[in-house]
Amino acid sequence: MELSLKLRFYLLDVSYEIHSGIPVILLWAVAEDGRRVLVLDRGFRPYFYAILSEDVSEQEVVSRIKLLSKGDSPIIGVEVTTRRYYGKPVKVAKIATVKPEAVREYREAVKKVRGVIDVLEADIRFSMRYVLDNDVTPCQWYEADVEPIEGVTGYRVNSVYSLVDKLKPLDRAIPPRLRVLALDIEVYNPRGATDPSRDPIIVIALANSEGEVRILTASDGPTPQDRELLKGFVNYVLTYDPDIVVGYNSNRYDLPYLVERANKLGIVLDIGRVRGGIPRPSVHGHYSIPGRLHVDIYNFAEELPEVKIKSLDVVAEYLGIMKRSERVLIPGHEIYRYWDDKSKRKTLLDYARDDVVSTLRLSEKFLPFAMQLSSLTGLPLDQVGAASVGYRLEWYLMRAATKMGELIPNRIEREYEPYRGAIVLEPRKGVHENIAVLDFTSMYPNIMIKYNIGPDTFVEGECSNCYIIPGLGYAFRKEPPGFYKSVLETLLKLRKAVREEMRKYPADSPEYRVLDERQRALKVLANASYGYMGWVGARWYFRQGAEAVTALGRETIKKAVELAEKLGLEVIYGDTDSLFVTNKSEVQKFIDEVMRVLELEIKVDKVYRRVFFTEAKKRYVGLTEDGRADIVGFEAVRGDWSEIAKEVQENVARIVLETGSVGKAVEYVRSVVQELRQLKVPMEKLVIWKTLTKSLEEYEVSAPHVTAAKRLISAGFKVEKGDKIGYIVTRGAGSVSSRAVPYFMAKPSEIDVDYYIKHQVIPAALRILEYFGVTEKQLEVASRAGRTLFDFR
């Protein structure tokens, strides 16, 4: 027998396999000496809980449960113990079996046993059950006693070990040097929509974290031949042996297409660290590569609300990775033309190179944050991006509940129950100067903590030691701390400790960057808590709690306004957890007073040199101290306006706030109108993007993007619910809808210039300028107005 040894490693992923009828946990890791290793734990078994009735003898119930045992996955243990459920002690039977898939079958049978009130924690995946029970999360360093296993085949790792004892966390923050491979494919598409059973892959672009870029191409023929291309791709992945594979929309396109195309050609796309490890669809809609982590960067780009069009080139430009003007851009429908025309093929390869390099660099931006989310929630890196914010927080709560001996509720389907939301104050219409925007720090989590809000602290009826919520009459027990309070206090304390730790390191150090991503992940999880409580899909759903939090939030804002006005500060506007106040010397006094009276932290988030409010809530334009224009609630932030309309509105806002001249803004709009009439505005600025929120047959009225989508289908393209449709409005008779053409099918001479002037540019500009007395006519005719912004104060 081999002697055990200590192994220190960075855990990448947790999965499982069945070996000779027994489940084996697979811990994929990087050892501290850089070896890729696999640690096997054969000692963990699946189980679930049954809550027992006090009216039936526990021995009787246990006997009945044991009688259910059958097949190759017998019930191997029924242990009666005590857990807490919503804070109250309950007697439970812990029912263990052999194979994870047997849990679902036993769950249904146990539910029917007399003396069983409910069955819990039977819907937790086996590998995640291991994460919860052993408090082991990916993207963390561990030490463990292990024994080497020699002669193991089937895994592409340097060493395989058997776990002897539990994993012990190590106090290390910086991950090892991980091998990251970005991929991007281009498909031959003469019919528009691509079909893996028909259309070959012509380019696979690859870029890795060592700086290598490799462009693999199909062979020429009457049609492109991609058999050798796919073999070359498999060989490259296995040779480079990445820990992480990244793509952009690779869950929905690149990986499924590669798998289906390889299958059509009879090639096994065996690119995992498990031999025969073909990528496959998994939970949360992501594609899993056995033994590697596949991360779709698009999942994180979707969380950038300020970027409306989430194409790779637009997101890469927004994040300062690659300017659109400095990279190759090819309309998607013309890819095949660039392949067929050998004089253009180099342009196609450069396009693929720019795409894959952008993808790799985006991963450098997003992966550090994703890794911190993974280590906090326990969700593997390839799942944490695809999971919603609610699911991420839920896994954190599940980890906390397991540590506290609290049972995890089942996920059940519920109808949405509306409740009154946050407060939004009426804005002071007009132009204001030197305005401070004050934000309450984690207002809702702090309210939940302060008033001990949660389903386990909610008291119906009389309560002598409770917080009573104004306007609702809901009562929450003051002691002991509830589940939400305990978890949130830990989250906020952790974040505070991490921020303190950051002070020890220079801002450009690896330690500082890792800690900064961790505090950001902690903030995201804490701030999601209120929304999660009101989400009907949540395990710990609690509408009364969400309603109580918003009521207390409204009360807090009202009290804060009173404090501000007592100090002589004018409150210009307020929304949810923010106040806009005149930026005077009393601001610091106000901050101190809020802390003293309301026991909540508030701080200056930004200062506007000038800010302009309409009479409508959630609609304003501000010029920050660094010269940036913030546009809130106008067309500039809507996704169904053309780029030229957004650009005009942003420039109008900047001009009027920077110069104070309404006349200059009018002249600017008129110059754009002239450029439109002269067809000098690039066509890509005229594309209007709109998402199909339902299938085409469900639309009763044919909106412009629906008409454009139908034209795409007629041309052979595949269009689905959720797709963004880009269209241009062309000249002709009939409704706007009937004249909407997919953007790449429109010619410059066909553009309906009058539509773009009257229904895009001028309305976008007027949303701001009409408040200064400017009319539509003035924007088309020479302006004689010499008024300044200050005439409208």
Task: Report pLDDT digits (tens) over 533-546.
Answer: 999 999 999 999 99
Burial (CB count within 10 angstroms: exposed 0-12, middle 13-18, buried 19+), residue 386: buried
Q: How far apart are CA 675 and CA 680, in angstroms?
A: 5
Q: How far apart are CA 569 and CA 190, in angstroms?
A: 65
Q: What are 308-356's pLDDT values in tens digits?
A: 678 899 899 989 999 999 999 998 888 999 999 999 999 999 999 999 9
Least trusted range by pLDDT, from 6-15, 101-110, 121-130, 424-433: 424-433
pLDDT of residue 634: 66
Task: Please name the residues in contact with 352: beta carbons below 8 A apart, sequence gap of 6 or more.
Answer: 184, 186, 203, 205, 215
- Mean pLDDT comparison of 190-204, 240-254, 408-422, 695-709, highest-scoring range: 240-254
Question: Is 751:767 a contact under the CB 8 Å cutoff?
Answer: no
Q: What are 107-118's pLDDT values in tens digits?
A: 999 999 999 999
**At 789, is the pLDDT very low, low, confident or very high (cuts 50, 70, 90)?**
very low
Q: How far apart are CA 90 and CA 463, in angstroms?
A: 23
**At 25, is the pLDDT very low, low, confident or very high (cuts 50, 70, 90)?**
very high
**At 585, is the pLDDT very low, low, confident or very high (cuts 50, 70, 90)?**
confident
What average pLDDT does the segment 119-140 reach?
96
Transcribe 322-336 into DSSP letters: --GGGS----GGGHH
When the pLDDT of each residue in the chain is averaged and rounded to a whole number, the result is 90
Is residue 783 pLDDT above 50, yes or no? no
**Which residue type is seen at 8?**
R
Collapsing DSSP states into helix, strand and coil, what is residue 778? Answer: helix
C-alpha dihedral sign at 125, 126, 129, 131: negative
Transcribe 670-700 into DSSP letters: HHHHHHHHTT-S-GGGG-EEEE--S-GGG-S
pLDDT of residue 222: 86
What average pLDDT does the segment 11-29 reach?
96
Collapsing DSSP states into helix, strand and coil, what is residue 459? Answer: strand
pTM: 0.85
More confident residue, 548 or 577: 548
Is residue 193 pLDDT above 80, yes or no? no
Q: How far apart are CA 290 and CA 185, in angstroms?
A: 21
pLDDT of residue 781: 60
What average pLDDT does the segment 362-366 reach?
95
Cβ atoms < 10 Å from Cβ of 297: 26
Query: CA distances (Å), 225 to each of 60, 336, 616, in order?
Result: 68, 13, 60
Task: Please name the residues in contact with 504: beta carbons below 8 A apart, sequence gap of 6 or more.
Answer: 511
pLDDT of residue 635: 55
Is residue 785 pLDDT above 60, yes or no? no
Query: CA distances (Å), 786 to each of 186, 509, 664, 772, 782, in order?
Result: 55, 53, 9, 12, 12
Collapsing DSSP states into helix, strand and coil, what is residue 126? Answer: helix
Collapsing DSSP states into helix, strand and coil, what is residue 340? Answer: helix
Q: What are 209-252's pLDDT values in tens digits?
A: 999 999 999 999 888 999 999 999 999 999 999 999 999 999 99
**At 132, is the pLDDT very low, low, confident or very high (cuts 50, 70, 90)?**
very high
Is residue 2 pLDDT above 80, yes or no? no
Is residue 792 pLDDT above 50, yes or no? no
Side-chain-side CA neighbours of residue 296 (13 Å): 23
Is residue 4 pLDDT above 80, yes or no? yes
pLDDT of residue 18: 94
pLDDT of residue 712: 86
pLDDT of residue 786: 43
Identify the residue whose tokens are 């920077």. 658
pLDDT of residue 654: 85
Q: Quote the percentage of the chain above a pLDDT of 90.
A: 68
What average pLDDT does the segment 13-29 reach?
96
Query: Which DSSP letter does residue 252 get?
Result: I
Q: Quote the percentage of the chain above a pLDDT of 70.
A: 97
- Mean pLDDT comparison of 46-60, 294-308, 419-433, highest-scoring range: 46-60
Strand 466-468 relative to strand 293-296, pairing? unpaired
Query: Which DSSP letter does residue 111 get?
Result: H
Least trusted range by pLDDT, from 167-171, 574-578, 630-634, 772-776: 630-634
Is residue 788 pLDDT above 50, yes or no? no
Question: Is 407:121 a contact under the CB 8 Å cutoff?
Answer: yes
